[in-house]
Amino acid sequence: MKLPSRSKSYMIPEYSVTGDLLSYLTCNLQYRYQNKGTLPPSKPVQRWFGEFIHGVIEEAYIQWDQYDIEFPWEWKKDIRPIEDLIDLRLQIRGLYPFDEDLFFSIHNQTDEKLTIDDLNEHDHKKLASARAEKAINIWGKDLFPLIDSSEHLIKGIRNMPNYDKNRSRSNYYGINGIVDVSSSVKINKTLEQSTLDNYNNKILEYLKKDENFQKRVAKFDNDDEYEILIDYKGMKRPPEKVNNPKAEDKWETHKQQILTYSWLRSEQKSSKPIIAGIIFYLNELVPSKEDLVLIKEELNNGLTDVGYEYDKDIELINNWQEDDKAPELSDSFKMDRSIRIINVDEAEREKALLKFDNVVFNIEESLIKEMNGCKIQDAWKGDSDERTCSACDFKTFCKNNSVKTKDFKIP
């Protein structure tokens, strides 16, 4: 009796909007080593801060929802205990604030008796803590009342681009992402928030002033309820124009991310029409020296979209030198630069999905080449801007490294 052979296992590849799309566009080869090769960066400062600020804001919302803490929050009494909790969670996962100027961790000290009470004013000024405090006190009082759900996992499935049954790994691929905040609001054609008519909400004011948002609202009936997707980013506002052809266009990539999230959310049964997305660039609230250098360069060269009307702030930035103390910029300037509204248009959303399809196709092509025996650096293109290459752990052996390291010989 001849036994039938076991059928080949079937797997649908799964791709994350941030973990795959954003990482791959930064550098293909770095993506291969870190995401597919599970070789994490030696000092993942950017990842630590991103996880930290997301965790702090989410926990702050939970405590505000439970205890109705009035704003402004006191850093030492209300915010620092949350930071300590999130820091402990991250350390359990192997994530540490490697930069000592970024965060003071009581869980990473040799003195076991050290407590939060031992913190002094100097520690308050660590960069991550200063940004967390500003994020909560500048945006929290307007953001928290709008939150319908937070950290919402969304998934979808699409046809594999350029599917070839003799070559492709699957005829479908999955997309997943985590929306930081989903907000259900009801806005009539006079752009008045019906559930918060008497609430002075800065976020709604920004939406009301956006011309494209007004046009979008006008297409719907007064009784319709909408959703707004909100994402936080632990980075400065990216330039609207990129001069370096090798640099990733983060401005466009972040737009694609929101549009892809809107499609994923629309695939869920409980969703309402997605009318807009909002990105908060939280570094703008307390910019580092590196951020200030880039902000100055972008303002002086017309590369950014926000801030030109603030003459006093621009003067402070232009007069600032890297060895100086950071200038005291106005809250209005920082708020305008930290918030970005992305209107959800169906045609633009379809373009974003096609771009995601293209990224998936390129990743799949590289994976298939490698599976067929091609060397890693021949299957994946390592080509990025100098800034990305400088911080990359793989620059010493990358053939396309933008930062040319000196040759050395082993004696």
| Cis upstream peptide for 72 (omega within 30°) | yes
Mean pLDDT of the chain: 85
What does pTM read for this prediction? 0.87
Per mean pLDDT, which range of 102-111, 169-178, 229-238 is the poorest? 102-111
The predicted pLDDT at position 297 comes to 95
- SS3 of residue 150 by DSSP: strand
Q: Averaged over 153-177, what is the pLDDT? A: 93
Contact 56, 63 (CB under 8 A): no
DSSP 242-296: ---TTS--HHHHHHHHHHHHHHHHHTSTT---EEEEEEEEGGGGS--HHHHHHHH
How sure is the predictor about 109, in pLDDT bands with cuts at 50, 70 and 90? Answer: low
The predicted pLDDT at position 122 comes to 43
Q: Averaged over 272-279, what is the pLDDT? A: 92
**DSSP percent split of the chain into helix, strand, coil, nearest 5:** 45, 10, 40
Residue pLDDT, tens place only, 47-59? 899 999 999 999 9
Contact 258, 340 (CB under 8 A): no
The predicted pLDDT at position 406 comes to 43
Residue 158 pairs with which residues in a beta bridge? 173
Find, among 152, 224, 157, the residue nearest to 187 by Cα. 224
> pLDDT higher for 307 or 242?
307
Q: Averaged over 216-228, what is the pLDDT? A: 78
**Side-chain half-sphere CA neighbours of 369 within 13 A:** 15
How sure is the predictor about 279, in pLDDT bands with cuts at 50, 70 and 90? Answer: very high
Contact 255, 276 (CB under 8 A): no
How sure is the predictor about 195, in pLDDT bands with cuts at 50, 70 and 90? Answer: very low
- SS3 of residue 177 by DSSP: strand
Q: Indicate whether 175 pLDDT > 90.
A: yes
Phi, psi of 340 (to 5 degrees): -135, 125
Residue pLDDT, tens place only, 26-70? 888 888 888 877 666 666 667 899 999 999 999 999 999 999 999
Q: Indicate whether 375 pLDDT > 70.
A: yes
Checking DSSP bridges between strand 226-233 and strand 274-281, what pairing results, if any? parallel
Distance separating alpha carbons of residues 183 and 206, to the nearest angstrom? 15
